[in-house]
A = this chain, B = another copy of it.
Amino acid sequence: MAKKQNVIIAQSGGPTAVINSSACGVIQQAMKSRKFGTIYGAVNGILGVLKEQLFDICAEKPDAIEALKTTPAAAIGSCRYKLKSLQDSKADYERILDVFRAHDIHYFFYAGGNDSMDTSDKVNKLAADSRYELTCIGIPKTIDNDLGFTDHCPGYGSTAKYIATCAMEAARDTEALYTTDTCTILEVMGRNAGWIAAATGLARSSAEDAPHLIYLPERPFNSDKFVEDVKLVLKEFKRVFIVAGEGLRDETGQYITADTGEFAKDSFGHTQLGGVAEILKAIVEKQVGIKARFNKLGTNQRSAMHFASLTDRDEAYMCGREAVKAALKGENGKMITLIRQSSKPYKCVTGLAPLSDVAAAEKIVPDEYINPQANFVTDAMLDYVRPLVQGEVNVPIGKNGLPVFMRFEKKLVDKKLPSYM
C-alpha cells in the first residue's frame, strides 16, 4: 500500500481506571509499527465520529500518552450514545462511514462493552456492504465484567481490588463503633451482574471479617430472608456488614428500588426513592431495630486509579497493543479476549472473538460462584478473582500530595463534512 491509512481510536460507556491504558496500548503499538498514517481520537466515542470531532493523538505530548497508564476515566472522551439496528439507525451508520471516508480512516479501534462491540460490528458490516475497506477491532472494557467470550474484562480487576479494600476498611469502622453504628451497607455497581459485589468476598479472611453478607442481582432478594440473615450475623458478631449490588430484584423480577410497598416508606410513611442501600437500611432499622448506615461510592469505584490493580492495568494495555497487532495480521470484526491459561501461577494471554458474538452475550456470575444460601460467594469465586487484583499501580504524586493525571489538548482537526447533529 502506497499511502498509509489512518486510524480512529475511541472509548465508550462507563469509564474505568484502566481504559486509558488500553488506549495507550493501541497508540504506542500503532506508532511503533509505523504502518499507519494519522491516529485520530474520536472525542466522546462514536458521538465524536458522528460529529466529526477528531483530534490527532500523535500531535499530543508523548508524556501525556505515556501518562494514560496512570490516568483514570476516558481521556479521549466517552459517551452512552446507543445506535440501534442497521435499519433503525441507518443514517448514523452511514454518517460514520462518511466520516471515515472523509478522513481516509480504515482502522477503527473501539474500547467498550456489549453496545460498543455491537456498534463496531454493524459499522463493519455496512463497510463490507459498501465495499469500503475497514478493519474494526474491539477492546473489552467494563468494570461490570459481564462480557462473554473472555475470562474477564479489563477494568474489573481494579474495581474489584478497590471495592474489596473499601469493604475491609469500612468494616473496621463498623467493628470499632458497633455499639452505636451496628450495621453498614456498601452499595456497589453492577445492575445485572454481581461480579463487583462478589469480589468483596476477598476481604473476608476470617469468619468475623466483613463482608458478612453479600447479595447479588443473580438471586432474587427476599426481605424476610434478609432480615433472618442479618439477625443471625448480629447474634454471632454483634455487628453486620453487608455488600449489595445496585440491581437487586425481588422474586417477581422487579427492582427492589422500584418498590413502593412498606419497606420503601420511612418512619413518617413517606416513600423513599433511593438506591438499594437506602432500602436495605430502612429494612434493617425497621425490622431488626438497629442503626444502619450506608456507603455508596458511585463513580469512585470505577475511577480509583490510586489503588488500581497492576495486573488489570497491564492486561488493559496488552489488550490495546494486541488489537493493533491483530489488525495488522489481517484480523477484522473481532474483539480481543483474555484467556486464562492457569490460575496458579496465574497466566493470561489474549485471543479473539467475533464482535457479533460478544455483542449478543451477557455473562452473569455462575451458580457455582454463589453459596446455596444466596448470601455469599464460594471459594471458586475467590479463586477466580484473586489473581485479577494483584499488584498496585505506581501513580505519580504531585506537590499537592495527590495523584497527577494527564489531559489531552484535543486540537480538533478541520471538518470536511456538513454538520450532522
Q: Which residues of A contact B (CB under 8 A)?
A: 11, 14-15, 44, 47, 71-75, 77-81, 161, 164-166, 168-170, 172-177, 179-181, 184, 202-203, 205, 266, 268, 270-274, 278, 293-300, 302-307, 309, 382, 386, 389-392, 397-403, 405
Kindly identify which residue among B274, B300, B389, B399 contacts A170, using a CB–CB cutoff of 8 Å: B300
Residues of the B chain whose Cβ atoms lie less than 8 Å from the Cβ of A307: 306-307
Kindly identify which residue among B172, B203, B305 contacts A15, using a CB–CB cutoff of 8 Å: B172
Residues of the B chain whose Cβ atoms lie less than 8 Å from the Cβ of A44: 179
Kindly identify which residue among B80, B305, B398 contacts A179, using a CB–CB cutoff of 8 Å: B80
Selected A-B contacts with CB under 8 Å, 13 pairs: A44-B179, A47-B179, A73-B173, A73-B176, A80-B179, A165-B306, A169-B303, A170-B300, A172-B405, A173-B299, A184-B299, A271-B271, A389-B401
Q: Are B401 and A161 in contact (CB under 8 A)?
A: yes
Q: Are A172 and B401 in contact (CB under 8 A)?
A: no
Kindly identify which residue among B169, B272, B382 contacts A73, using a CB–CB cutoff of 8 Å: B169
Rounded to whole Å, the gap between the CB of A238 and the closest CB of chain B is 11
Residues of the B chain whose Cβ atoms lie less than 8 Å from the Cβ of A271: 268, 270-271
Q: Are B303 and A77 in contact (CB under 8 A)?
A: no
Rounded to whole Å, the gap between the CB of A188 and the closest CB of chain B is 12
Q: Are B300 and A166 in contact (CB under 8 A)?
A: yes
Residues of the B chain whose Cβ atoms lie less than 8 Å from the Cβ of A392: 397
Q: Are B400 and A176 in contact (CB under 8 A)?
A: no
The complex places the Cα of A400 from the Cα of B205 at a distance, in Å, of: 9
Residues of the B chain whose Cβ atoms lie less than 8 Å from the Cβ of A181: 80, 299
Rounded to whole Å, the gap between the CB of A411 and the closest CB of chain B is 16
Q: Are A303 and B170 in contact (CB under 8 A)?
A: yes
Query: Given contacts A172-B73, A173-B72, A179-B44, are A297 and B299 in contact (CB under 8 A)?
Result: no
Q: Are B161 and A299 in contact (CB under 8 A)?
A: no
Kindly identify which residue among B71, B168, B180, B402 contacts A172, using a CB–CB cutoff of 8 Å: B71
The complex places the Cα of A174 from the Cα of B300 at a distance, in Å, of: 11
Q: Are A403 and B74 in contact (CB under 8 A)?
A: no
Seed contacts A80-B181, A169-B300, A294-B298; 4 additional CB < 8 Å A-B pairs = A169-B306, A170-B300, A203-B402, A392-B397
Kindly identify which residue among B177, B272, B391 contacts A273, using a CB–CB cutoff of 8 Å: B272
Rounded to whole Å, the gap between the CB of A239 and the closest CB of chain B is 11
Residues of the B chain whose Cβ atoms lie less than 8 Å from the Cβ of A400: 164, 202-203, 205, 382, 386, 389
Rounded to whole Å, the gap between the CB of A190 and the closest CB of chain B is 16
Residues of the B chain whose Cβ atoms lie less than 8 Å from the Cβ of A179: 44, 47, 79-81
Residues of the B chain whose Cβ atoms lie less than 8 Å from the Cβ of A268: 271, 273
Rounded to whole Å, the gap between the CB of A303 and the closest CB of chain B is 4
Rounded to whole Å, the gap between the CB of A70 and the closest CB of chain B is 11
